[in-house]
Structure 1
């Protein structure tokens, strides 16, 4: 027997087995009026009512519903009320400008746009057939409790969500993730990281980003509790960990750093010691951050590597029994690797150093971009665009291929230089890029944000690197900044950092 794997499997089980359990604790200060505590039975009722509301609007199977929202109970429920009832959810990065959101709405063909109240004015000019500002008033229009929704047949190969990439290219591409992609990714996340019904998960990760890495699905299906955090703040994360008994959270290295900074000023024992596990992804974290998470917080550090196009899990890294007795620095060096292939994933590195992936979690395609799809899936493998090495079953990401700096014929990984600079006590943030150089073709430049109250000059930071790296890898210049541009998920937007240095040139390589 074979039955289709669909996203509704997760909420259906939660309603059946854990119906009376509080499954979702909404952000208490939502501008859209908080839903407060929501049981799994109520969450399933809300999802059905949302689907019935879309029926009433005339939004049919396969139509796209876009939502631009910070983390909220309404956004999470839409994963089921929209995708679980034959439509396609388009979760949009809430930091995008109006013209960028308008492009996504138009390119996806969305007929419905749901907007966070905080973004109402900024996105007022985005054209769409049906527009709703999330809140108590629109709830009455969007949720129809008086009728049962039409349950259209869903195939596991149907598109469930279209997730637009974070904008490292001129125009984001719409990644089509199927019900099968999402289902298998979610189960793999739960399996590799030991999720269960005793877990309390804090949504520090934006739900729009690769559908919250699949955790809103698997943790729902297992009956865990979700605690919604609207905006990342290190001290508030610690408060929620203490108040709700949080056991599990995720984020980019910047999130981990925010927690570490807050912990330094925390009055009393840091909450969650020997209980919390944190998954970090989005960029390879500095080894110093890994050590501090495990020693200062007493939290278990774990890592995944993946992309929106892979739902996102590709590799996983969690401490092995063989590593338990290792010194902290050596253990951190093992954990900072991207990890080993997730169950069912095949990973290899081609002759040009690019990481290739074959898996059931790989995207169906880019929405209405057949040429881009064909290029990404050439040869039956997904081409990640990342450079890396695979040793003894463990993948290490060296850089985005375009972020490798070639100076005097030598390849320099910007990540390696960044990790070195993070080891300097005065450095809070750093981005390393290649800039044009008449003699060497391009040369290494570091853009640095210093910690509050700390000081360092260019010469000191260059000397710090030269003591620890081959001379050609050390920056030839350092520029100090107040901040560095990042995506919502904490990824450095190096294409923006490079632009002024390469302006007027045909290509960003010399």
Structure 2
């Protein structure tokens, strides 16, 4: 028998079997059962349809990790609208581009971030603007009546709406990610890809109905790595937050008896600093805690602190927005013992179920399992994206560069005798700082606009706090690196004023010239080699 894989079935499963169980602890302390959560979702679905939103329309959600985000996401998807989560750290110009690129019909924006959307509302196609605090948005400068109240819309809407027929191959979410160029790319994911990825997360994160999941991972980030689906479908509990504060995280873990969370290496480092500064407080409630980190591996010292000091169990996964993200995991228990656990957990790991992960050379041939020959990571699996929204050429290249039919990760890695991969370098011009993708080309374009910059190259530099941080090698316009016409601090401020804060160039080095090929192409590899010569690998724990 074959039945379609539809993402809204995760909520229906929880409503059927766990209606009276607590579903959500809101960031402000609100508590909802699955029955109450489901009713609010139904009301938002009805409210969207009353405002003309139809199947296939894009509905954007700009929100930190609150219950409104979950309600808006499921409310949109129940009517077949395409859920489009937005990174709340972007600038108004970024939102203008994305809302136009996706053709967004309606947006729900948290009151702290609605001002950025309001600034560009006259230049986007969006017609419906909803927030969770109209008064706060109007106090920030919005015209009265321009924004509707989320809660009032729910009260007026009722629970009846038309649920359309949906196919598992239809796009249900678009996640925007920074590319190697300045414009973000919309990663299109179908009901099928999201569902299968959520199944994988449920398996490899060992999610059960009595889990209590703490939202430190942004919900906008690859739909919270699929946990908006997996945690819901299993009938587990969501504990929401409005950002990451180490003291609040630890207190919440104890008070809510949290059993599972995800955290970038930078968040783990914040928690370690708190643990040390506060005299080694208790880091768990009554239950054991599992934590997953992603991307480049955390250092051994971080793993040791989390597992030996906190008493948590750490898993390390790898992937990208385009892949769900889960494609590999290092939690291979047969290979882990006290002597090997750090070596194993620092690797990106081996492919998960139903996922073909390979490391190939420039001819598309698999590199040997010698843990020294470097190739590019490519992947094929049911959790991999459908395409980039409105970008057929980029889609074609992403799936057919070295090896036809595989998504190309842009990361360079080796493979050991057990088939476990380890990242060694990055092929794409992407910096991953604190879990956020930053385009080095975008930063270079901004710096080139400064009249005192003659030439520039931006690369990732190692950072203890963020894993990687943007560093600019600048040839000053006067050609004299010892007496440049502009200070490094001025260039940092120049980028801060024009880009999202996390994209700011943190380090600047003035140089007489940049290394180039005979044809004039900048050899960033040489710059990275020099910058990372004291590190084990040319890729950070970002």
Is TM > 0.5 for Structure 1 vs Structure 2? Answer: yes
TM-score when normalising by structure 2: 0.75
SS in 1 for 2:104: coil
Alignment match, 2:424: 398
Q: What is the aligned-residue RMSD (CA, Å)?
A: 3.3
Give the CA deviation at 1:9.
1.1
Q: Deviations over 1:313-332 (max 9, x none)?
A: 111122514423x23xx411
Shift of 1:271: 2.4
Match of 1:303 among 295, 303, 316: 316
1:338: which partner in 2?
A: 348
Q: Is the alpha carbon distance of 1:94 and 1:432 closer, same or farther for their aligned partners in structure 2, counting shifts above 3 Å?
A: closer
Cα separation, 2, equivalents of 1:169 and 1:495:
16
- The answer (yes or no) to whether the contact 2:335–2:344 under 8 Å persists in 1 is no
Q: CA deviation at 1:143?
A: 6.0
Equivalent in the alignment of 1:373: 395
CA distance in 2, matches of 1:46, 1:147: 8
User: 1:290 and 1:399, CA in 2 relative to 1: closer, same or farther beyond 3 A?
Assistant: same
Q: 1:256 aligns with which of 261, 268, 271?
A: 268
The residue that corresponds to 1:361 in the other structure is 383
Q: Deviations over 1:409-459 (max 9, x none)?
A: xxxxx99x94xxx8xxxx555647887799xxxxxxxxxxxxxxxxxxxxx
C-alpha distance in 1 between matches for 2:514 and 2:61: 35
Contiguous gaps of at least 5 residues in structure 1: 29-33, 406-413, 439-478
Please say if 1:272 is aligned against 2:311: no
1:393 Cα deviation after fit? 1.8
CA distance in 1, matches of 2:388, 2:307: 39
**Unpaired segments of 5 or more residues in structure 2?**
135-148, 363-374, 432-458, 476-488, 525-542
Query: What SS does structure 1 have at the residue aligned with 2:115?
Result: coil
Q: Which of 129, 132, 135 is residue 134 of structure 1 equivalent to?
A: 132
CA contact (8 A) 2:54 2:79 kept: no
Q: Is 1:64 aligned to residue 58 of structure 2?
A: yes
Distance 2:326 2:14 in 1: 23
Count of aligned pairs between the two proteins: 440
Alpha-carbon distance in structure 1 between the residues aligned to 2:163 and 2:336: 50
Matched, 1:183 2:195: yes
Change beyond 3 A, Cα 1:14–1:315: same
Cα distance, 1:76 vs. partner? 1.2
What is the rounded CA distance, in whole Å, between the counterparts of 2:115 and 2:200 in structure 1? Answer: 40
- Corresponding position of 1:96: 90
8 Å Cα contact 1:68-1:92 kept in structure 2: yes
Residue in structure 2 matched with residue 456 of structure 1 by the alignment? none
Aligned to 1:2: 2
Aligned partners of 1:51 and 1:143 also within 8 Å: no
Q: Against the structure 1 CA distance between its residues 499 and 141, is the aligned structure 2 distance closer, same or farther, given a 3 Å change threshold? A: farther
The equivalent residue for 1:348 is 358
TM-score under structure 1 normalisation? 0.79
Task: Please tell me whether the aligned partners of residues 184 and 360 of structure 1 are also in contact (alpha carbons under 8 angstroms).
Answer: yes
Query: For residues 500 and 15 of structure 1, do their structure 2 counterparts lie closer, same or farther at Cα, with a shift above 3 Å needed?
Result: farther
TM-superposed CA distance for 1:283, in Å, is 3.1
Give the stretch that moved more between structures: 352-361 or 389-398: 389-398
Moved more, 307-316 or 264-273: 264-273
224, 244, 260: which is aligned to 2:256? 244
| Correspondence for 1:27 | 27
- Within a 5 Å distance, the mapping from 1:106-145 to structure 2 comes to 106-127=100-121, 128-135=126-133, 137-141=149-153, 145=157
Question: Would you say the 8 A contact 2:213–2:259 is kept in 1?
Answer: yes
Mapping for residues 44-63 of structure 1, pairs under 5 Å: 44-63=38-57
Please list, as runs of the form range in 1=range in 2, the aligned pairs for 1:160-199 lying within 5 A after superposition: 160-166=172-178, 169-199=181-211
The 1:495/1:375 distance shift into structure 2, 3 A limit, reads: farther
Deviation at 1:43, TM superposition (A): 1.1
